[in-house]
């Protein structure tokens, strides 16, 4: 008897939790990326002059990344719960693996950038003149704009493919996600604002899931 009563509640709370987690992830990561994009020069070979006056802004942006990552983990978990028995093992493995690799690349890039800022705060001239800044800046740029974006693209492809089979989101959103995923996979890190594509797409589907869930809740009352 208890199990039957829990089923409707689970069906309503699971998509709502996914939507809330996705929205939090999108807002946090978008804020972090926008702060960094407006603060750090696009050229990874810059001289580092911006560090003297704008390092605190980048530090704030980097502190938002772990919070965004926690929300993204929750987003992955509740989406898998939403799929349930309909989950395809092949695409589910790619879905989970690419999501975790995306987070690993994102966290690593943020950690390298954060370590560079701390080193600069204690010995600014040494960091720049020794080449540590140039190395750390280039590694962070490559990791974020190449590897992290590729994992985001793979995650989008697997999510959209699962969505077309299970219809957990609208079909047009799934097709849009496939197009945006190809853009991320083929961009080769040449578009400075390309990382914003992923959190904005997650925001789109999260808002859609939340609105659909609220509509179902009203109908069930």
For residue 11, what pLDDT is reported?
46
CA atoms within 13 A on the CB side of 129: 4
Nearest to 72, CA basis, from 113, 36, 30: 30
- In the chain, the largest separation of any two C-alpha atoms, in whole Å, equals 71
Q: What is the pLDDT of residues 162-185, one digit of tens each?
A: 888 877 788 899 999 999 999 999
Q: What angle do CA 54, 32, 190 make, to 5 degrees?
A: 90
For residue 113, what pLDDT is reported?
93
Phi, psi dihedral angles at 174 (to 5 degrees): -65, -45
Q: Tokens for 68?
A: 């965004």
Specify whether the CB–CB gap between 29 and 203 falls below 8 A. no
Global confidence as pTM: 0.85
Judged by average pLDDT, the poorest of 24-38, 56-70, 150-164, 200-214 is: 200-214
Angle between helices 149-166 and 89-122 (to 10 degrees): 150
Q: What is the pLDDT of residues 112-150, one digit of tens each?
A: 999 999 999 888 888 888 889 999 999 999 999 889 999
CA dihedral of residues 25, 27, 33, 35 (deg, nearest 10): -140
Q: What angle do CA 86, 161, 201 make, to 5 degrees?
A: 115
Sign of the C-alpha dihedral, residues 197, 198, 200, 206? positive
For residue 184, what pLDDT is reported?
92
Phi, psi dihedral angles at 40 (to 5 degrees): -95, 135
Instruction: Please tell me the distance from the alpha carbon of residue 174 to that of residue 179, in angstroms, as a whole number.
Output: 9
For residue 182, what pLDDT is reported?
94
Nearest to 141, CA basis, from 176, 101, 112, 182: 112
Specify whether the CB–CB gap between 72 and 21 falls below 8 A. yes
Q: What is the pLDDT of residues 5-52, one digit of tens each?
A: 444 444 445 677 888 999 999 999 999 999 999 998 888 888 888 888
């Amino acid at each position: 008897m208890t199990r039957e009563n829990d089923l409707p509640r689970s069906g309503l709370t699971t998509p709502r939790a996914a939507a809330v987690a996705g929205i939090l992830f999108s807002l946090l990561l978008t804020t972090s990326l926008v702060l960094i994009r407006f603060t750090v020069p696009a050229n990874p070979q810059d001289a580092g002059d911006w560090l003297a006056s704008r390092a605190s802004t980048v530090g704030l942006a980097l502190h938002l990344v772990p919070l965004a990552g926690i929300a993204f983990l929750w987003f992955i978990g509740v989406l898998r719960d939403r799929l349930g028995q309909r989950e395809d093992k092949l695409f589910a493995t790619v879905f989970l693996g690419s999501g975790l690799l995306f987070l690993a690349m994102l966290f690593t890039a943020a950690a390298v950038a954060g370590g560079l800022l701390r080193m600069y705060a204690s010995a600014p001239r040494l960091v720049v003149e020794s080449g540590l800044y140039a190395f750390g800046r280039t590694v962070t740029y490559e990791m974020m704009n190449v590897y992290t974006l590729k994992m985001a693209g793979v995650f989008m492809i697997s999510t959209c493919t699962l969505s077309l089979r299970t219809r957990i989101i609208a079909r047009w959103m799934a097709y849009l996600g496939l197009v945006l995923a190809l853009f991320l996979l083929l961009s080769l890190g040449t578009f400075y604002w390309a990382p914003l594509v992923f959190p904005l797409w997650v925001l789109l589907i999260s808002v859609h899931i939340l609105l659909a869930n609220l509509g179902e809740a009203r109908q069930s009352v």
